[in-house]
Amino acid sequence: MTRSRTVWVTAALMATTLGAAAVPSMAAAAPATQAATACPTGWGSGSKTNGASTGKHVTNARTGRHNCYDRFVVDVPAASAGRLGYSVRYVRQFIQDPSGHPIPVTGGAILEVIVNAPAYDLDSGTPTYPGRVGKRLPGVDLTGYRTFRDAKYGGSFEGQSQFGLGLRARLPFRVLQRDGHLVVDVAHTW
């Protein structure tokens, strides 16, 4: 080989070797980006209830996305966790209480959430939550959610407020009572 050709081949080999060393392989990067999230298990899909009652009012309903579940939160400011009653269960059809009228909810399963708190002032009857019966929840956009498909307001009657969540499928859920909030988490998978 001539000297110029030897220099060129050596330079090319060095560039290839240095380039390969500087760029990590996809195989090496994969474990860091695909780290599994440990999701809670054992929630179940059976009805969950707490008969406590509060004189406080529902003011908002909202949703959130998490790695393992979709979250539904009903805000009841000034209500202590121990006094915030609820009934959360899967139903075949979302029926408005007390009218008995069905409210269509999109999804493969329907989770009914009843909070033992009115969405109106008990003295004046003035609404404290802007939801309209049979309509989607105001301010809730479920675009991109893995589990939630729909969220409707069933109304408020005799000190209880009713919500219907349309889900991708019947999945396990948990209910958490927090000061000022009722939280319902629905898992993405079993």
Q: Domain holding 117: CATH number?
A: 2.60.40.3500
Mean pLDDT to the nearest integer, 60-72: 97
Between 170 and 15, the more confident residue is: 170
27 plus 53 within the same structural domain = no
User: Residue 42 domain-assigned?
Assistant: no
Say what the pTM is.
Answer: 0.80
- Checking if the pLDDT of 7 tops 80, the result is no
Do residues 21 and 53 share a domain?
A: no
Residue type, 45: S
Q: What pLDDT is attached to residue 14?
A: 46
Q: What is the mean pLDDT of residues 20-43?
A: 56
Residues 80 and 127 in one domain: yes
Mean of pLDDT values over 20-41: 52
Average pLDDT across the chain, whole number: 86
Same domain, 12 and 63: no
Residue 6 has pLDDT above 90, yes or no: no
* pLDDT of res. 33: 44
Indicate the number of domains in the chain.
2
180: in domain:
yes
Strand-by-strand arrangement of the 69-75 sheet:
60-65, 69-75, 181-187, 173-178
Q: Are residues 61 and 28 in the same domain?
A: no
pLDDT tens track for 88-113: 999 999 999 989 999 999 999 999 99
| 164, amino acid identity | G
110 CB-near residues (< 8 Å, 6+ apart): 90, 91, 92, 93, 94, 164, 165, 166, 167
115-157 pLDDT per residue, tens: 999 999 989 999 999 999 999 999 999 999 999 999 999 999 9
Q: Give the residue numbers spanning the domain of 14.
A: 3-33
